[in-house]
Structures are given as structure tokens and as C-alpha cells.
Structure 1
Amino acid sequence: GSSELAGVAALLKAGKARNVVVMVGAGISTSAGIPDFRSPKTGLYANLSRLKLPYAEAVFDIGYFRRRPEAFYTLADELYPGKFRPTVFHSFLALLERKGVLRRVFTQNIDTLEHLAGVPEDKIVWAHGSFAANHCIDCGTEMATATLKAIMDAGKIPHCARCKGLVKPDIVFFGENLPARFFELAPVDTRAADLVIVAGTSLQVHPFADLPNQVSCPRVLFNLERVGDFGRRKTDVTVLADCDTAVRELATLCGWTAELEAMWAKTAMEETKGEAEGEAEG
């Protein structure tokens, strides 16, 4: 609860937490309008019936993608970065960076909202990949994002110019390895962490789900339900609330409210500015 959160705020304010590692999932982006995967009614998997999949996760299965890439591309069109504004939680990550205490954000999300909110790329590990680059699944040739986007916008499936194989964004599908960067940084960052914030994740997908177990520092959970082994350790702090509410409470305790809200407001101005530019081009 909030008395425990006060202890976390004290660490941040006293400069005792200087290597904050944040581990996040879909729950930090739901308030931006991006569906999470597993919620029974509103989740992505629950609303994929129109794609006539043999099972929900097939949409991210590499074998299924080879047979029927349309399913993934229907979804990719809806999730593609550029349509969504970062949340208050995303702005809090950027605020930690501004305060000089953010060591790394490990994210399961492919929406790149962490970066859009102002977290530099070197501070982010996209554990499940992202839309930032695209490669042929057969020969590995890269396709420029602008090219891929143009093909998608025309309602077609991108094929490799070199071997005619299917091209897909570098999102980690089931049965694919996580990016090398994840395995390089996870052991180093979990060792160096002096405060860990886990937010908006069901901690069901491995190896990401093992990350919180590898740290020895205080851990904070912002989530709608208790996950992993949170609560087992004396130093654990569990806040069962939506991520934006929880992070606003922490910011208040740190005396950072005005700064946080100003940073978040800025993301709205950038969003409307983008729309205005879009209209000007149109």
C-alpha cells in the first residue's frame, strides 16, 4: 500500500536508488488504447475470432505465419506504432531518466511508447522485439520500414525483393529466440539494480518472467493482480491498481507531480502536432 510506497519514494528522493530497472508488459499501454493479450473480454486474443485462427496465439506463431501471413498483418495494421499516445506511466519512465536514475527498461511491448515518451533507445531492451526493423524470414534480407508500411497500406503482404520469402517486423514470435541484447543485458542489469519496478505484466512468458527473481534489491509491483512470487520477500511492495494511478501516487510521494504531469502533457501536444502535419501533407 501507500505507506510501503513512501519507503520506495524515500529511496528515490535520498538518491539511494540510482540504478532503477523497470520490467513492463501490456498493462502499461492499455490506457493508451492498446489492448493487452489475455484479458477475457477486451484482450487481443479474445477479439481475434474474426481472423478465424485455430487458436489465439497462432497469430504470433512462425509456422502459422508462413501458411497464413494475413492474420498477423491484419493485426499489425491495428497495432502499428504512430497511432497511440504514451501514458502517464511511460512519462514516468522518461522522468526517471531525466533524474539520472534509470538504468534500463525491459519491455515485452512492441508499441515503442517508451521511446516515444522520451526514454533513449540505449536504455530500452525490447525483449520481444519491435516494429523498428523488418527482415525476410528465409534469407534475412532487411526491408525498409517505409517500404513495408507502403505495402501494408496497400493491403498487400510484404515479400522479400531478393528471394520472394515473407517479410515480417522484428517482433519475437513463439518459437523464435529473444534478441541477443536481452541475454547480454539481463544478467548485468539484474545484478546492478538497486530498485526494480515491475508493471502491467502477467509474468507468464519466459524467459522474461524470470527477470524479477534474479534481483536481490527491493521490488515494486504495479499491477491489477498479484503475479510471480511478489509478496514472498519482506522488501516487496505490491500496489494493486492500474499503472497510471499507481505511478501518480509514487510521483506525489516523491514530490514530482508537477514535473510528471508536464512531461505527459507534452506528449499530447506532440500527438496533435503530428496530426496537424499529417493534415497539411494530406
Structure 2
Amino acid sequence: MRVLYLSKRPWQNWTKIWSRNLQYLRTMSANSPPGTSDGEESLDASAAVPPNNIETMGARIRDLDVDSIRRYLAQKLGFNEPTEPAVPVEKVLDEVNLDGIVKWIKSARCKNIITLAGAGISTSAGIPDFRSPETGLYHNLQKYNLPEPQAIFEINFFRQNPKPFFLLAKELFPGNFKPTISHYFIRLLHEKGLLLRHYTQNIDTLERGAGIPEEKLVEAHGTFYTSHCLDCRKRYSLEFIKEHIFSEQIPICTDCPGVVKPDIVFFGESLPDRFQHCLQEDFKQCDMLIIMGSSLEVQPFASLIDMVPDWCPRLLINREKAGLRSPLLRLWGLMSGGLQLDEEGIRDVARLGDCDEGCQELADLLGWGDELRALVASEHERLELTGAVATPHAPVTEVAAALPLEPKL
């Protein structure tokens, strides 16, 4: 395990990040979906870093004898061997299940909930995820004649040939989709005074459309909300980029020949400053973590589940288990990060299935079910009546105040 500072500023507590994630702290991984960034400074190489025991992993594995492997397999296959009695571990939850999570949220101990969301909370709105076979976005990019599907979101490829991205952006552009039950559940957490922060991998801006305040949002992979010229960094409004995308024109800066790119994070770009700033303070305050619709495969986002205190309960609402710790490595003392969703778990719970159904079930158990249903119905009706579904999901007053329109070309 390697311990390092996440910023140059003095910080009273070390933040633990497994060494397998270190290379991703500033740049998105090659297997991640796109998520803005104006760039960040590199890690402080002069910071004092304790010795990294993980670097000796290979040597330690080589030192494992056959007997160690035999004991592990015997344990998993049920061939029990006489061993020293295990030290009992105190459970965090009264019941390590959804009922236990509900009791925790209702208790006085739960005051600061952090939600982490992936593409799974938006699929019911009609927005495809990135990796699902047959229906995922990457599976359906053949028409753009790319060297590989992910190239459409690589910054170097974009600089050479931005046209494929802007053709795709017309399909992905926010405004034609309604927020889902999952989005409104997060808003309900805010209205109950429980939401500390919502971290999202999504670039669809549906959180904004659901009425979650901007100060509660961390759009880890950026957003269509703003755009910048790649060369001179001039900032452009949502309407500017929308006009060019829907007229199938590549937006060019009015001050220089640079291409104007939406502030979504491409492969090869740094994550937003806000992501780095907020996580330093948020996760040490977190007393309940809810992960929704994420495969937990993209770094550094996936590392966030290990940044909460050891006693903090964690709930996964997803179609399948994700972010699991390795029992083999844990047995050998090499690594203990990730969710523990087996019979030995003391704080981690998985509610497997559709995200909207999971959020509605949780709301029902909390006694908020009818309130959530009414909120979804009234908000969807409002969006239809005002025509807001056909416009970008961002408060009009905020756009007018913060993003004055640039002259049209």
C-alpha cells in the first residue's frame, strides 16, 4: 500500500490509495468512458512517501509455498482444517442487508451521504451506456470508421479529426432526455438534508435537470455545460456549441483557429479541478456511501469507494456485483481494498437489479416511496409543459448569469 498526499497543501490526514490506482490519479484510464478539465499540476514528487509494500508483491507471491495455496483452496472448498480461532469482527450494521442500511440511514449517525453514479442511472432515460454488448455506445460506432471505438474520445485523435465526435455529439447532446427515478432519489436525499455530495461519471447533465444544486455536484468526467477553445482556452456557452453541433459544423473559436471542444474529459486529459478539491474534504466526513449504476472499473473514480472511513456503510445498487475485493490477495495480506459482499462482510450491501427499481425500493423502506413517486410525476409533467425536455438540462437563470452568449459565426 502506498500513502500519498492528494494535493500540495498540508493535510492532517493521509489518504489511502492502492498503488494499482496511482497512475490514474490525474489522467483518465485507457478503458474509461469520457466524462472537463483545464488541466492540473503534476503530483509533488518531493512529498515524503512511506515505503510501498505493494512493490514487493511479485516477490511475496513467489515466496508463497504450496501449503499456503492448499489451505486457501481447502477453505473455499469446505475442507476445514484445524486453525487458530479467528478474532471476531464487530459488524458496523445491525443487519448486513438492505434493512440494516435503512436502519442506519434513519439513525442519528447518518448525516452525510455521498452518492457515486455511473451510466446505469441514465439508461432508463434512453441514454446508452458505454460497454454493454450489442446496445453499448462503443458497440455502435462502426459507422464513424474509427481505428478503434474509444478513439472517438481520445484527445489526440480529436485534434487530428474532430468530425466523428461532433457527429456523435448530436446524438448524445443533453436536452432530449428526462431525469430518471434514480436522479430524483438523489434530489430527495438533498431535500432531506442528507446529501453531502453527488459524484457522477456521466456527462448527460441529467443531475442538473433533476434539480440537484450545482454545489452538490461533482461531474468527475466533465459536462456539456461549458466548452473551451483547445488553443486559446476561450470559454463558450452551451448555446454556442449546440448551434454548431446541430448544424453539423465543427465549432471554431472566434478569436483563433482553434477547435471549440465541450468540457467533457477525453482520454489523455486531466480530471476537473473540482473533483480533486472536493474529495479531499468530502470523504473523511462521509457516513454513508451509495454506489449506483457503475461497474467500478474506471480509475480514479473506482478508488473513491475506499476513501470513506472503515466504519462507513456502503450500498451498491447495480445490475451486478462490482468493485469486489480479492479474497485471495486479502488472505495473503497483499490488498484489502474494494467491497466485501460475502458472508464475512460487516458493512457492505448489494441490491442487485435495475437502478430505478433499487432506488424506489430503498425509498419505500425509508418511508419516502410516495414522495418519490409524486416528485418524479410532477417534475416530468413540468418538463413536458414547459418544453424543457427539448432544451439542455441546466437552469436557464444560471446559464444567463454565468455564461453570456458569444457572437454567432
TM exceeding 0.5: yes
What's 2:322 paired with? 227
After the TM superposition, which of the residue ranges 19-28 and 71-80 deviates more from structure 2? 71-80
Q: Quick check: 1:160–1:166 contact (8 Å CA) kept in 2?
A: yes
Give the direction of change, closer, same or farther, for the CA distance of 1:194–1:270 in structure 2 (3 Å limit).
same
SS of 1:189's equivalent?
helix
- Structure 2 Cα separation of the partners of residues 146 and 91 of structure 1: 26
- Structure 2 Cα separation of the partners of residues 68 and 15 of structure 1: 54
Post-superposition Cα deviations, 1:29-62, rounded to whole Å, max 9, x if no partner, equal 0000000000011100001111111111111100
Q: For 1:210, give the aligned amino acid.
A: S
Shift of 1:248: 1.0
What's 1:115 paired with? 208
Shift of 1:13: 2.1
* Alignment TM-score, normalising by the size of structure 1: 0.94
Q: Quick check: 2:96–2:348 contact (8 Å CA) kept in 1?
A: no
Runs of 4 or more above 3 Å deviation: 274-278
What's 1:64 paired with? 157
| Structure 1 residues 14-93: aligned runs within 5 Å | 14-93=107-186
Match of residue 187, structure 2, among 69, 74, 94: 94
SS of 1:245's equivalent?
helix
Q: Quick check: 1:194–1:218 contact (8 Å CA) kept in 2?
A: yes
| Structure 1 residues 101-250: aligned runs within 5 Å | 101-216=194-309, 217-229=312-324, 230-231=339-340, 233-250=345-362
Match of residue 264, structure 1, among 363, 372, 376: 376
Post-superposition Cα deviations, 1:178-197, rounded to whole Å, max 9, x if no partner, equal 00110111121111100000
Q: For 1:261, give the aligned amino acid.
A: R
Structure with max Cα Rg: 2
Shift of 1:15: 3.8
Aligned residues: 277
Post-superposition Cα deviations, 1:151-193, rounded to whole Å, max 9, x if no partner, equal 2221100011111111111000000000011011112111110
SS of 1:66's equivalent?
helix
Q: For 1:269, give the aligned amino acid.
A: E
When the two chains are superposed, the root-mean-square deviation of aligned CA atoms in Å is 1.6
Tell me which protein shows more helix as a share of its residues: 1
* Alignment TM-score, normalising by the size of structure 2: 0.66
Could you tell me the percent identity over the aligned residues? 47
SS of 2:174's equivalent?
coil
Shift of 1:227: 1.0
Q: For 2:129, give the aligned amino acid.
A: D
5+ residue gaps, structure 1, are none
Q: Quick check: 2:227–2:237 contact (8 Å CA) kept in 1?
A: yes
Q: Quick check: 2:226–2:237 contact (8 Å CA) kept in 1?
A: yes
Shift of 1:234: 1.8
After the TM superposition, which of the residue ranges 266-275 and 107-116 deviates more from structure 2? 266-275
- Structure 1 Cα separation of the partners of residues 103 and 166 of structure 2: 46
After the TM superposition, which of the residue ranges 222-231 and 98-107 deviates more from structure 2? 222-231
Give the direction of change, closer, same or farther, for the CA distance of 1:267–1:63 in structure 2 (3 Å limit).
same
- Structure 2 Cα separation of the partners of residues 19 and 223 of structure 1: 21
Q: For 2:150, give the aligned amino acid.
A: E
Q: Quick check: 2:167–2:245 contact (8 Å CA) kept in 1?
A: no
SS of 2:97's equivalent?
helix
Q: Quick check: 1:6–1:250 contact (8 Å CA) kept in 2?
A: no
- Structure 2 Cα separation of the partners of residues 13 and 210 of structure 1: 27
Give the direction of change, closer, same or farther, for the CA distance of 1:80–1:220 in structure 2 (3 Å limit).
same
Match of residue 273, structure 1, among 382, 385, 395: 385
Q: Quick check: 1:200–1:224 contact (8 Å CA) kept in 2?
A: yes
SS of 1:263's equivalent?
helix
Shift of 1:276: 8.6
Q: Quick check: 1:195–1:218 contact (8 Å CA) kept in 2?
A: yes
Post-superposition Cα deviations, 1:186-243, rounded to whole Å, max 9, x if no partner, equal 1211111000000111111111110001112100001111111222542000111110
- Structure 2 Cα separation of the partners of residues 3 and 260 of structure 1: 25
Q: Quick check: 1:94–1:118 contact (8 Å CA) kept in 2?
A: yes
Shift of 1:277: 9.7
Q: Quick check: 2:176–2:389 contact (8 Å CA) kept in 1?
A: no
- Structure 2 Cα separation of the partners of residues 249 and 3 of structure 1: 17
- Structure 2 Cα separation of the partners of residues 128 and 137 of structure 1: 17
5+ residue gaps, structure 2, are 1-94, 325-338, 391-409
